[in-house]
Structure 1
Amino acid sequence: MSADVAAQETPARSRRPVLFLVVAGLFAVAAVVAVVVGRGSTSAVPLAPDNPQPGGAQATATILRDQGVRIRTVSTTDDAVRVAGPGTTLLVTTTGRLDDAQLAAVRDTGADLVLGQPTFLPDLEPLTDRVEPSPVGSDVPVAAACQDPDATAAGRLSRSVGGVVALGDDVELCFPTAEGAGALATWEQDGRDVAVLADTALMSNEHLADAGNAALVLRLLGGNDELVWYLPTIGDTVGEDGAGTGGTSALVPPTVRVLGVQLLVLTAVVVLWGGRRLGRVVTEPMPVVVRSAETTLGRGRLYRRAHDHAHAAAGLRAGCATRVAARLGVPSSARAEALVAAVARATGREEAAVGALLYGPPPTSDAELVRLTSELDTLESEVHPS
């Protein structure tokens, strides 16, 4: 019977590692889903419309959406060129990351342009030759001091990191930061409006509510029903065919990508190996051989220390019954009545006496246990093979 139970338990035990891996995988997926859901659609990209941090621009984007402006966020020149066009506004948050080919691609979209942070470029060629950046800004609020309706509606700006210098007579400078330079430059070019804002941090969550920053930013970006919010990424370039040829992935060396693939394969192999079904139990030699007599004595001492007379008597009776049954040819699967009858015939004792000796109530004291041991010994000595 014990062999059957072991056979039934072996498959269940072999399935435990697989079940554990499945449960662990489900927990991992649940954790990832919880993190993604908890994070929602927010990011940590500076001036991103979904960034709620001080350096983000979620507040600006939220107000624009409430005013009915549709915002489409892109991160490559290819996407900006594909999405932007006449009748839309294209915001380039950081022109300092664009090369000449990208500037030309932005110019050719035909969209109204709002350009930010040109301070890091020597000029904005070939996008425009109407302005150039100036390092002179203002740490204190600056008034509009111009006739541009967006600037006059704002009244003043809280600050400006850097400025813009006008090179064309049709360029209007607002919020002067130095002689010939201002925080905002606006003009009309090829039938569309162009604005250069020296400090795009004015649209951030941290500075939007200061002075007239919100009025200026919302009017510049909300002039059309659709706004393309272009967040240039390092490594994004434009190929000869005008298509974007990268993003941040272009900066990753090929060897790193290969190592990443190898790690994924190795992880899959380890998971499959750890989840394999276990084979048959393999027996191994015991490091120390313990004699049966020592085991019997040790168990007897435990029974004596615990005063467990019932278990000790059960062991003695089971051993006696097994031995006399083997001598009399009674199978081990026979019922107790058959064994009692065979022993009674072999010894000439009454069946009731034999039954009480082999299957009677357990002793309750050391003296009764000793007496039972002696009687079982005597009974076994009276049994001879038939």
Structure 2
Amino acid sequence: MSVTDAPVGFAPADQEERAAPPPSAPWHEHWAHRWRRSRFIVLALLVVVVLSGVTLLLTARTSDRPLAPDNAGDDGARAAAQILQRRGVDVQPATTMAEVGALAGPGSTVLVTDLAPLDDAQRADLVATGADLVLLGATFTGVEGFPGVSDRIETSGAGSTEQVPARCDDPHARAAGEISGTVGSVVALDEEVTVCFPVDDEGAGGYASWQHEDRQMHYLADPRLLSNAGLAADGNAALTLRVLGQHEALVWFLPARSDTSGTQDAVPMVPPGVRLVLVQLLVVGAALALWRGRSLGPVVTEAMPVVVRAAETTRGRGRLYRRFAAHGHAAAALRAGAARRMAHRLGLPRSAGAARLTDAVARATARDPHEVHGLLYGPAPSDDAGLLALSTALDTLESEVHRS
């Protein structure tokens, strides 16, 4: 049978293959439609991921915390940390006691940049690590609660704004020669404590060192000597770098104000830059809400198809009342309207009761209050004639009130 002789309702095989759509066409159309709808969201998320990665790469190694080893500002200590690293010292930053306990030990040095956040238990844990301690003080920061420290030294408010010579036998202080000055000082309570860079005649100085059990303890009264701004002045660098570089491992401890951990419990750290990533996600979410949200647009006014006059509405309602013989409803409407208008005329509020309105209308019209009360609050009429008489009486009463 030829192609032209094929039965009606059937097509040759090759024509059937050409006429039928490919099976994959609906699948491709579905995903193409979904891509057109969600491509903005996907592109926005990709932009956020790229920006977040760039932000983390640029900001992960910098901070603005005072005396931080990655802070390049004047109040940071990045210069000292980099010099120590070039000299072979492994500088390990820490912000919790859990990290200090994991990093510090005998044969290492722990630098404590701020004593104020530490409680007595954390101060005892620092001494228990067995590492040499370098404590940076402040004018109003004490050393109470430090075993081997609080019984050896005490802080003092004496200081100097000029260069201070060492005047002691400590090798680190002799190598420095003098420091640029000191805010605050330290006083020895034990003869084994060496105090250098004296600032008064009572034994207060800017630096102290002593031996506690099998480790060396150091106290530097003015932390600014370690900062980027003060490191290069006089002998500040010689003193601080020699004290911090005694061992190959240096734990740079910047205590966190909210740290409640001990040296045995690890606390998960929040990676730097997470806050900025969250802000970027919020911005993208707000942009998506504005893009996908529905807008009501301005209010569109339309012309009323039919305008009904108030007089026609009143007459229509009257006809309904008459058709259903609703004399009570009609009388109540007449009385309510008359009472509202007379009360307004007499300066009475809408909350005025029946007795008050009756007395006011009676005084204004010189009528008997019982007569006025009967007109405004009496029984409803039972026929059209009574309703008409009530309407006339109310009009007359209202006109008398308006003339008063």
Q: Could you say which residue in structure 2 is the equivalent of 1:168?
A: 190
Deviates more, 1:230-239 or 1:17-26: 230-239
Q: Could you say which residue in structure 1 is the equivalent of 2:71?
A: 51
TM-score by length of structure 1 reads 0.60
Give deviations 1:259-293, integer Å, cap 9, x for gaps: xx9xx99x999979x99xxxxxxxxxxx9xxxxxx
Equivalent-residue separation in structure 1 for 2:98 and 2:137 (angstroms)? 21
Deviation (angstroms), 1:103: 0.8
Deviation (angstroms), 1:10: 8.8
- Closer/same/farther in 2, CA of residues 21 and 150 from structure 1, 3 Å limit: same
Equivalent-residue separation in structure 2 for 1:138 and 1:69 (angstroms)? 31
Q: Which amino acid aligns with 2:248?
A: D
1:86 aligns with 2:82: no
Q: Could you say which residue in structure 1 is the equivalent of 2:242?
A: 219
Alignment equivalent of 2:176, drawn from 154, 166, 182: 154
Equivalent-residue separation in structure 2 for 1:41 and 1:269 (angstroms)? 30
Equivalent-residue separation in structure 2 for 1:166 and 1:73 (angstroms)? 30
Q: Could you say which residue in structure 2 is the equivalent of 1:65?
A: 85
1:75 aligns with 2:95: yes
Alignment equivalent of 2:206, drawn from 174, 178, 183: 183
Q: 8 Å contact 2:101–2:264 — kept in the other structure?
A: no
Q: 8 Å contact 2:123–2:146 — kept in the other structure?
A: yes
Alignment equivalent of 1:141, drawn from 158, 163, 171: 163
Deviation (angstroms), 1:28: 1.4
Deviation (angstroms), 1:37: 2.3
Equivalent-residue separation in structure 2 for 1:38 and 1:238 (angstroms)? 30
Q: Could you say which residue in structure 2 is the equivalent of 1:377?
A: none
Number of paired residues? Answer: 257
Question: Per the alignment, in what secondary structure is the counterpart of residue 126 of structure 1?
Answer: coil
Q: Which runs of 5+ in 1 are unaligned?
A: 249-260, 276-286, 288-386
Q: Could you say which residue in structure 2 is the equivalent of 1:23?
A: 43
- Closer/same/farther in 2, CA of residues 235 and 184 from structure 1, 3 Å limit: same
Equivalent-residue separation in structure 1 for 2:107 and 2:86 (angstroms)? 19
Equivalent-residue separation in structure 1 for 2:57 and 2:116 (angstroms)? 34
Q: Which amino acid aligns with 2:173?
A: A
Q: 8 Å contact 2:70–2:76 — kept in the other structure?
A: yes
Matches within 5 A, 1:23-42: 23-39=43-59, 41-42=61-62
Q: Which amino acid aligns with 2:163?
A: P
- Closer/same/farther in 2, CA of residues 52 and 270 from structure 1, 3 Å limit: closer
Q: 8 Å contact 1:165–1:181 — kept in the other structure?
A: yes
Q: Could you say which residue in structure 2 is the equivalent of 1:204?
A: 227
TM-score by length of structure 2 reads 0.57
1:229 aligns with 2:249: no
Equivalent-residue separation in structure 2 for 1:247 and 1:97 (angstroms)? 18
Equivalent-residue separation in structure 1 for 2:162 and 2:286 (angstroms)? 62
Deviation (angstroms), 1:21: 0.8
- Closer/same/farther in 2, CA of residues 38 and 120 from structure 1, 3 Å limit: same
Q: 8 Å contact 1:96–1:118 — kept in the other structure?
A: no
Q: Which amino acid aligns with 1:121?
A: T
Q: Which runs of 5+ in 2 are unaligned?
A: 1-20, 271-277, 293-301, 303-404
- Closer/same/farther in 2, CA of residues 184 and 271 from structure 1, 3 Å limit: same
Deviation (angstroms), 1:148: 0.5
Question: Per the alignment, in what secondary structure is the counterpart of residue 35 of structure 1?
Answer: helix
1:192 aligns with 2:215: yes
Q: 8 Å contact 1:92–1:230 — kept in the other structure?
A: yes
Deviation (angstroms), 1:90: 0.7
Equivalent-residue separation in structure 2 for 1:96 and 1:135 (angstroms)? 16
Give deviations 1:81-117, integer Å, cap 9, x for gaps: 2211100011101112211111100111110110011
Deviation (angstroms), 1:27: 1.1
Question: Per the alignment, in what secondary structure is the counterpart of residue 97 of structure 1?
Answer: coil
Question: Per the alignment, in what secondary structure is the counterpart of residue 227 of structure 1?
Answer: strand
Q: Which amino acid aligns with 2:257?
A: I
- Closer/same/farther in 2, CA of residues 14 and 202 from structure 1, 3 Å limit: same
Equivalent-residue separation in structure 2 for 1:10 and 1:77 (angstroms)? 56
User: What is the aligned-residue RMSD (CA, Å)?
Assistant: 3.5
- Closer/same/farther in 2, CA of residues 225 and 119 from structure 1, 3 Å limit: same
Q: 8 Å contact 1:174–1:184 — kept in the other structure?
A: yes
Q: Which amino acid aligns with 1:32?
A: S
